[in-house]
Amino acid sequence: RPHRLFVSYRRRAPARPAGEDGSPPSGPGTTGGVCCYELGGLRIPGQSSSSASGRSGSGSGSSARPPVVSARHDVDGRDCASSALAGGVAPPPRPPAAWLGAPNGDEGEDEDGDAARPGFAVARPDGVHLYSSAERVGLVPVDGAKVAMCSLPPPPVVYLRRPLRPPPSGAETDGADSAGAAGAAGGGPPPSPSAVPGSGASYTLVTTSDAKSNRDVLDVYDGTNRLVGFHALLSPGHRALRCAGVASRPVVEDGDVVRGGRSSAVVLTSGGSIVTLTERATPDKVDLLLQKNLYAAAISLAYSDPQSYRPRDVVDLYRRHAEHLYRRGDYAGSMDRYVLTIGSLEPSHVVFRFLDAPRVRLAARYLTALRDAGLAAPVHDELLRTILLKIGDGEAAAGIAPA
């Protein structure tokens, strides 16, 4: 995989005298932009110092071997006002290959997918612009005059109990059983505790100047779930100068996680103080998101933290999300979540909610998924056959033998 180097630059254009065609003179200005260099794995062979000094030289000097620049992509033609307003974006989590079930240790890396992911961010007056290696891929609307920004690196995650994959049909089993099943599928035991980068969220800290209060504002933006996770004002008389992101490693003792890793942001202010913002524990963040009915974000966080949430816990969040959508009248969306609970939730709890005429097709969809998972009882097959005949799908009903 090629290495990528993002560069934001600013050049001062010299003053231009009046042209012969009568064009007015122009004063000095600035130009710049953002570009990405793709650095290949090959290296240019350099010339040693002994060769350069002549054939009679006996010294053994080291050669300079710069990386090969295979391509340059200009992703933006606007300059960056300050180096404090640009920085790299932490990559998404990449679990071990054994948890993904990839053969021969192949993690299934998709270079095309990597090229489309944000790798660099620049804060501009209209917001934070996100860039991939080839183009601008997003804009985070953040108001106010930008002072500084930084990306918070995700802490390492320890995968001890279960693979990082969607809950299987038999998700009622605990985490240890799931891990054992994954190891058996891969032809060997599950891997020993290991830490890999990633916590399921990509955070960016942006400091802005609020004109109304004449104070600087700290905003932490969750790029994975696309929401503002934290908002605060600095104390009066304190201005943000620089900020940086750090991450702590998890603590593992006797095969158990004692304390998970956390992402933190450090802000240096003009008042001589250092402000530290530390990520909350995953259960606390999930509870806050559930209180705001942000179920999709809560499931994403819970699913990405195998240290705190077993498969049965994630499936229970799917059930709560399904019931929330059902109460709102989004029956199709509710069924999408109920299908993910197959194997852990009693089927009658779901089917009886969708047996009336407007929603009976959704009941047929659930029973079909239950049958495909090999968990359908004869009564479920008979009910599915009856529903298919009722909605006029005789061909599908003929494929189900009567009980």
Share of the chain above pLDDT 70, in %: 66
Mean pLDDT of 21-35: 64
Strand locations in 19-90, DSSP E? 29-43, 67-76, 86-88
**Higher per-residue confidence, 288 vs 262:** 288
Question: Is it the case that residue 331 has pLDDT exceeding 90?
Answer: yes
Contact criterion met (CB below 8 Å) for 304 and 201: yes
Instruction: Write down the pLDDT at residue 115.
Output: 62
Lowest mean pLDDT among 76-90, 193-207, 298-312, 343-357: 193-207
d(CA 90, CA 110): 17
Sequence-distant (6+) residues with CB within 8 A of 183 are 98, 189, 190, 191
pLDDT at 108 over 50: no
pLDDT at residue 20, as a whole number: 60
> Radius of gyration of the chain from Cα atoms?
28
pLDDT in tens, 74-95: 888 887 878 788 888 776 555 5
C-alpha dihedral (385, 387, 392, 395), degrees to nearest 10: -20
Dihedral, CA atoms, 39, 45, 46, 48, nearest 10 degrees? Answer: 150
pLDDT of residue 365: 92
Copy the structure tokens of residue 359. 């929603």
Residue with tokens 């909605």: 391
E-only strand ranges, 153-193: 156-158
Six-digit token pair at 401? 């033998």
Work out the pLDDT band at 165, boundaries 50, 70, 90.
very low
Residues 125/145, Cβ–Cβ less than 8 Å: yes
Q: Which of the four pLDDT bands, split at 50, 70 and 90, describes residue 60?
A: very low
Q: What is the CB neighbour count within 10 angstroms for residue 44?
A: 10
- The stretch 362-388 carries a mean pLDDT of 89
pLDDT value of position 167: 41
Model pLDDT, residue 76: 87
Tokens 């110092």 correspond to what residue? Answer: 49
**How many angstroms separate the CA atoms of 101 and 68, rounded?**
34
Angle at 356 between CA 395 and CA 347, to 5 degrees: 75
Predicted confidence (pLDDT) per residue in 199-253, tens digit? 456 788 999 988 888 899 998 887 766 778 888 899 988 999 989 888 887 776 6
Lowest mean pLDDT among 80-94, 155-169, 248-262: 155-169
- pLDDT score of 114: 59
Residue 341: C-alpha distances to residues 169, 259, 306 (Å): 8, 29, 18
Predicted confidence band of residue 295 (pLDDT cuts 50, 70, 90)? very high
Measure the CA angle with vertex 363, ends 358 and 367; round to 5°.
165
Mean pLDDT over the full length of the chain = 74
Residue 148, classed as helix, strand or coil, is: strand
* Rounded average pLDDT over 310-338: 92
State which amino acid sits at residue 227. L
pLDDT of residue 122: 87
pLDDT beyond 50 at 99: no
